[in-house]
Chains A and B, each alone.
Chain A
Amino acid sequence: MKKLLAILALLAVLAGLFLLLRTKNPPVTQPTAPIENLSVTVSNKAPSRTNTPDVTSIPPNGSPQISGAQTSLAVRAASPNGDVQPGTVTNEVPALPPATVLDKTRVLIHNYHAALGENPVGTNPEIAAALQGKNSKQINFLADSGLRLNGKGELIDGYGTPFFFHQLSAHEMEIRSAGPDKVMWTADDLITK
């Protein structure tokens, strides 16, 4: 009788362990629709990435690594702070609202100015490079910022369009996002200084 009880208890423990492990590691399932066909609404709060090839976020070490694998939406899907979660499959669009992306960019430029005494200059890729450490103090301002670069090394806005940096002076920079229509110099552009 005691042997029977011990066997039953052992079986119960094994069953419990099995259930526990199953809960922690659910079986992999495929999304119901191909990721490229996800329906994404373009709005101020839910930007689309469907037209943004070769997007990468800035890893903590500040060296964006653009690879073929990263061009898939599955890899590009962002966590709330904008960092890529490798291997995560999600149909979520990046959680950062476009206004936040714009403001984070403004803060980055401000931080750059505070550290170096002047704003970065040049085209978008040149400014992005300066923000990533190609500056006299070799400070990487982009690391962990959650901001994103496209395949051309351009800093992109919350809609996936490269920012336009209007350099007014060494101390004043107008940052322009093309807005939801992704066309620069139209009424829906988002602008900050």
Chain B
Amino acid sequence: MKDKNVSVITRRDFLRRAACAAVGTAAMTSAIRDLRFMNAAVAQSNITDYKALVCIFLAGGNDSNNMIMPTVTSEYNNYSAIRTPVLAIPQNNLLSLKKSDGVTDYMDPDGHSFGLHPACPELQQLFKDGKLAVLMNAGTLVMPITRAQYQSGGQRPPQLFSHADQVTQWQTSVPDQPALTGWGGRCADLLNSVNPSAGISLSVSLAGANTFEVGNIVSQYAVSTSGAISLNGVSGARLAALTNILGLPYSNMQAQAYASVAEHSINTGALLNNAITNTAANSYWTNAFPTRITTPNNGGSFNSSLSSQLKMVARLIEAGSRAAGSPSNGFGMKRQIFFCQVGGYDLHSGQTNYNTNNPNDVIIGAHANLLAELSQSLMVFQQAMEQLGLQDNVTAFTSSDFGRTFPSNGQGSDHGWGSHHLILGGSGYKNQAARSVLGGQTYGKFPTLTVNGPDDTNTGRWIPTTAVDQYFATIATWFGVDPSNLGTVFPNIGRFATPNLGFMKT
């Protein structure tokens, strides 16, 4: 017999009410978040200069253990012993990081000196000129963690060593919550108000849709290496007719929304292509970008995706920073964020060309090709920025899924955790007062390259000593995110010792 005082909720009722409650909670959370962003954005509106960020994502997990190596004899010997034979770059092939005099070896505060992979002479030059900074052993962290804490089950980022998850965590800088927006997208949301009349989005991708630029307010705009992506086979009268059709009013809301998005996309594409017309292939600096990369030391020769992407980024920076309206016909933007990506770094096998007949071929191979592409492309991009006079306004930086295991698996390396990264830009030592990137130095702590050493999980995967939050908060602060808003963009930043690692002049 049922108690009449008890209201009986059917399963259907329960689900309906729960769903309503969930939607209501989500909407309220979203509204609070948007309001917070709007308030923060208002506070960010006093920006007058131009700045751009260029994220270069090394997809697959770069083996930074072979990008930057120790040159102190005992440390190199340790490196060589563990990585021999398939991955150990001979010491006489390393390109030493030098001080500005070009003679004295650079030494970090802990007494480490370093050499770059022999495929990277351009990076060596950029470091010597003070335009390239190196950040050691950065990675995803929920909070600082020691080896002992790691081994006793301390809080680790979820799904460590998994490609997709680590990519997401690097690009959101929020490893311990479901991914909603990228940190680039959140910066764009905050700073979008400084581009009031921009014809294109603050966030532009050269590599299609990405998590880094997902925002609540600003939508990312994808372009190809040849400009705006246009409708295939639709031009001239056809395009005019289509535009007219899309401009008509539609009673169906979905049809209206689709028409609006399509029309906006076509108009933006036309605007963008028009703006970059004068930086086409015959411009003085765009010719410098190589179509093909040749790896030093008789390495490979191949078409470069990264160089093409950075060339288009350079053209869009030129157009974006140029004044809007006639006669300049630029976008008159104050802030731009770009995303580039190059794949192929997941080198479980074939990382080098080492073979017993030609052991010195360890310095060439797939990884050498990728590093050569990175090195040469970054050099040309920096030169382009200098020719445009924007070298102190544009900062490029690398990201990657994770580092790789220090010991070889016999043919390459496997998924690791912490890794070393590059930050490029600025006038270098030529103009100490103006330079943006405080290059010619390394930042962070170089790990002890010992399996089961203090920085190792247990198999040569470095426990990061710098969080991606700190890495990106340093860049975001330079970009114009007010320190009081850092917690909005990087919600976990308060868990780490400092939000500014000091490699950017702020």
Contact = CB atoms under 8 A, between A and B. Distances in A.
Nearest to A118: B159
A122 B160 contact: yes
A166 B348 contact: yes
Interface in B158-217: 158-165
Contact of A121 (B162, B458, B459): B162
Contacts of B303: none
Nearest to A166: B348
Interface residues of B, number: 19
A169 interface: yes
B349 A168 contact: no
A145 interface: no
Given A184-B349, A185-B348, A185-B349, A167 B163 contact: yes
Q: Is the interface of A mostly helix, strand, loop or mixed?
A: loop
A177 interface: no
Contacts of A184: 348-349, 409-411
A122 B457 CA distance: 10
A70 interface: no
Contacts of A170: 158-159, 162, 164-165
Contacts of B458: 123
A150 interface: no
B415 interface: yes
Interface in A117-139: 118-119, 121-123
B161 A121 contact: yes
A166 B401 CA distance: 14
Given A118-B158, A118-B159, A184-B411, A169 B164 contact: yes
A167 B349 contact: no
B57 to A, nearest CB: 16
A121 B160 contact: yes
B349 A119 contact: no
B117 to A, nearest CB: 22
Given A168-B164, A170-B164, A184-B349, 16 more contacts: A121-B159, A121-B162, A122-B160, A123-B459, A164-B409, A164-B414, A166-B348, A167-B163, A169-B163, A169-B165, A170-B158, A170-B162, A172-B164, A184-B409, A185-B411, A185-B412
Contacts of A164: 348, 409, 414
A172 to B, nearest CB: 8
A70 B4 CA distance: 67
Nearest to A171: B164
11 contacts: A118-B159, A119-B159, A121-B162, A123-B414, A164-B348, A164-B409, A164-B414, A170-B162, A170-B164, A185-B349, A185-B350
Interface in A145-193: 164, 166-170, 172, 184-185
